[in-house]
């Protein structure tokens, strides 16, 4: 029986600005934490996002043009 409250699957496409904001939020959150493994995990995630942004093949696959 179908459920009425199902979530629609995300397309996995983002705008460049959304990705930049995500990385910025990760870094700001990491800076708010005391030094330790949780902070390091957040910083590593932000660093991984930065590396993905430099990968043109990944960007072209996972981003869409912003509508003006």
> What pLDDT score does 1 carry?
45
Listed by start position, the domains of the chain span 16-60
Burial class (CB in 10 A: 0-12, 13-18, 19+), 8: exposed
- DSSP conformational letter for 14: B
Q: What pLDDT was estimated at residue 68?
A: 58
The model scores a pTM over 0.85: no
pLDDT surpassing 90 at residue 2: no
23 contact partners, CB below 8 Å, separation of at least 6: 46, 49, 50, 53
Each residue's pLDDT tens digit, 4-51: 554 444 568 899 999 999 999 999 999 999 999 999 999 999 999 999
- Looking up tokens 């705008």 gives 15
Question: Which residues, listed in sequence order, are joined to residue 14 by a DSSP beta bridge?
Answer: 63
């Amino acid at each position: 029986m179908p459920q009425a409250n199902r979530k629609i699957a995300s397309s996995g496409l983002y705008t460049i600005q959304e990705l930049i904001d995500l990385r910025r939020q990760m870094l700001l959150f990491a800076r708010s934490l005391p030094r330790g493994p949780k902070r390091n995990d957040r910083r590593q995630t932000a660093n991984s996002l930065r590396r993905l942004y430099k990968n043109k093949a990944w960007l072209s696959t996972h981003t869409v043009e912003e509508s003006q």
